[in-house]
Amino acid sequence: MNKRILLLVVILSLTFALIWFWIRKLESEGPKIIQGTKTKFLNKPQVLNFEIEDRGSGLRSIQVTVVQRDLQNEILNEELPGSLLWGKKNIIRRTIQIPFDPAAMKVKEGPLTLVIVARDYSWRNKLTGNISLLEQSFILDRIPPNLSCLSTQHYLNQGGTGFVVYQTSDDSIKDGVLVDNAFYPGFPVKAANYPQARVVYFALPYDQPAPKIELISRDEAGNEARVSFYYLLKKKKFRQDSLTISDDFLQRKIPQFFSMDDTLSGMSLTDAFLRINNYWRDQNHRQIREICRKSQPESLWEGRFLRLPDAEPSALFADHRIYLYGGKHIDEQTHLGVDLASLAHSPVPAANSGLVIYQGDLGIYGKTIIIDHGQNVFSMYSHLSNFSVSCGQKVTRGQKIGTTGDTGWAGGDHLHFSMLIGGTFVNPIEWWDEHWIRDNIKLKLEILAPPQQQPSASKQ
């Protein structure tokens, strides 16, 4: 009786073990193929990584084929050691690294697919194992966008504005002018003969007499075309100016900044002056760059820019200012606009048509308006006593936008007027000059105008 039971237990155990073994060997989960390199475009030598894993029965074979149109090129065929019966030493995980070499793979520019087939040591499919397949699509693109300059002569001034007409192919996702490391984006313009024409305004730094200036165009794959163009950059010497700071000015002005910086109230007059003149000046310039980061894609202005009427400039663009207090040199800064003084509370006209993109307090600049004239051209009006327009409003050339004043870091009633390209201050003097606008912008745009039609001979 006991022996029978024992035998039954042994037989049952063996049967269960056999069934369990059978089930394990017949596992149905195929290898997992995970792409390591998440890339869409291939344009430079690189290694494509794939992780392949099979926890059930281990990896048996890996095959990689590159497919492009009629081409099918096997680039890897690997059998992995292992056993169908005893799977203890079978390989569970494998990293494959495929060096991408277009010549060796015989692939050409355009879309291509890598097909990865992996098999495991399962007894499924008549002992041939489970199969997994991953198709990964790429685009081989090593050709940078077409890029050429259409405008010919570019006469530039240190601290001034540059303007270039160029064309680039439709695959460009970023194009414009690079001045040293500062990028100025281009904007499309309508021109029947030049469907890919674009224009770009850029700023010439006032403090760098010989920057590197290039046209660039980049595609989605990261291919970049760089083209230099002919230009003549005239050096400019900017003025030096000294400004005496009085106790009266400090006592009157510093408390106005307490609301934006409570550390000022505990400081000496000169420390508070230095914090506003340096830290807050930098902060305000950062804020202005942020405000001018986006611009309307079309040009909104017409004709020369207007200057505050009946006003004499008291400080010019890029004047190097030395601040004196009690006869001592305490600070230096550069003045990035033109100060125009007229009668107190004079009406301020919009220098040209555009869109008001900022109206409000702007630290050292006091009550300020910034107008976007499109294609990255901006004008800025500071130290105003009040506003006649609001943010988001369209204005026309000459329309009253506010009244002069002495808000912010201003000693007396005047208009601080600035022009900006992107977020960079440029000399407004060029924009007030009709000849400069004609020679440097209008004549270049005429390249895009369709050729004049010859009057056809009339029938007699």
State both tokens at 324: 């004196």
Residue type (1 letter), 32: K
Q: Does 413 bind Zn ion (CB under 5 A)?
A: no
Query: Is beta strand 319-325 parallel, antiparallel or unpaired with respect to 240-245?
Result: parallel
Least Å from the CB of residue 237 to Zn ion = 20
Nearest approach, Cβ of residue 357 and Zn ion (Å): 20
Does 416 contact Zn ion by CB under 5 A?
yes
Our CB check for Zn ion shows the closer of 61 and 368 to be 368
Interacting span for Zn ion (CB under 5 A) from 36-44, 256-264, 344-352, 411-419: 411-419
The CB-nearest residue to Zn ion is: 416
Closest approach of Zn ion to the CB of residue 206, in Å: 15
The distance of closest approach from Cβ of residue 335 to Zn ion in the complex, given in angstroms and rounded to an integer, is: 6
Q: Which of residues 26-85 bind Zn ion (CB under 5 A)?
A: none
Residues 94-153 that bind Zn ion (CB under 5 A): none
Contact between 339 and Zn ion per CB under 5 A: yes
Terminal Cα-to-Cα distance of the chain (whole angstroms): 132
CA–CA separation, 91 and 88 (whole Å): 9
DSSP-derived pairing of the beta strands 386-387 and 400-403: antiparallel
Residue closer to Zn ion (CB basis): 367 or 416: 416
CB of 282 to Zn ion, least distance (A): 16
Contact flag: residue 281 with Zn ion (CB under 5 A): no
The nearest distance, CB 338 to Zn ion, in angstroms, is 7
CA distance 264 to 254: 8
Q: How far is the CB of 378 from Zn ion (least distance, A)?
A: 16
Burial 427-451 (b: 16+ CB within 10 A, else e): bbbbbbeeebbeebbeebbeebeee
Angle subtended at Cα 285 by Cα 347 and Cα 233, rounded to the nearest 5 degrees: 90
Nearer of residues 184 and 425 to Zn ion, judged by Cβ: 425
Per rule CB under 5 A, is residue 198 in the interface with Zn ion?
no
Per CB under 5 A, contacts with Zn ion among 222-261 are none
Q: Which is nearer to Zn ion, 339 or 406 (CB)?
A: 339
Size of the site for Zn ion (CB under 5 A): 2
Decide whether 233 or 384 has the Cβ nearer to Zn ion.
Answer: 384
CB of 333 to Zn ion, least distance (A): 10
Kindly tell me which of 291 and 338 has the beta carbon lying closer to Zn ion: 338
Name the segment binding Zn ion (CB under 5 A); options: 128-136, 207-215, 229-237, 414-422. 414-422
**Binding segment for Zn ion among 154-162, 178-186, 274-282, 412-420 (CB under 5 A)?**
412-420
Q: Identify the burial level of 63 via C-beta atoms within 10 angstroms of its C-beta, where 0-12 means exposed, 13-18 middle and 19 or more buried.
A: middle
**137 vs 40: CA distance, rounded Å:** 7
Q: How far apart are CA 445 and CA 400, in angstroms?
A: 30
What is the rounded CA–CA span in Å between residue 447 and residue 229? 16
Q: Which lies closer to Zn ion via its Cβ, residue 397 or residue 416?
A: 416
Beta-strand runs (E) in 326-374: 328-335, 338-341, 347-349, 354-361, 367-372
Pick 281 or 416: Cβ nearer Zn ion: 416
37 vs 385 by CB, closer to Zn ion: 385
Q: Find the part of the chain contacting Zn ion (CB under 5 A) among 48-56, 332-340, 343-351, 452-460.
A: 332-340
Q: State the minimum distance, in angstroms, from the CB of residue 170 to Zn ion.
A: 44
Q: Give the residue from 40, 41, 106, 42 showing the smallest Cα distance to 70.
A: 106
Q: Quick check: 407 and 384 in contact, CB under 8 A?
A: yes
Tokens of 23: 């089930």
Residue type, 390: S
Q: Which is nearer to Zn ion, 295 or 407 (CB)?
A: 407
Residue with smaller CB distance to Zn ion, 382 or 440: 382
Least CB distance to Zn ion at residue 244 (A): 16
Tell me the C-alpha distance between 121 and 374, whole Å.
66
Distance CA 428, CA 418 (A): 6
Question: 449-457 — which CB contacts under 8 Å span 24+ positions?
Answer: 449/191, 450/192, 450/193, 451/193
* Contact window for Zn ion (CB under 5 A) among 5-13, 127-135, 163-171, 334-342: 334-342
DSSP string covering 171-234, please? Answer: TEEEEEEEETTEEEE-EE---TT-TTEEEEEEEPPTT-SS--EEEEEEETT--EEEE---EEEE
d(CA 114, CA 35): 11
- Minimum Å distance from CB 243 to Zn ion? 11
Q: Which stretch binds Zn ion (CB under 5 A): 15-23, 319-327, 333-341, 397-405?
A: 333-341
Segment near Zn ion (CB under 5 A); pick from 55-63, 246-254, 294-302, 413-421:
413-421
Which residues bind to Zn ion, rule: CB under 5 A?
A: 339, 416
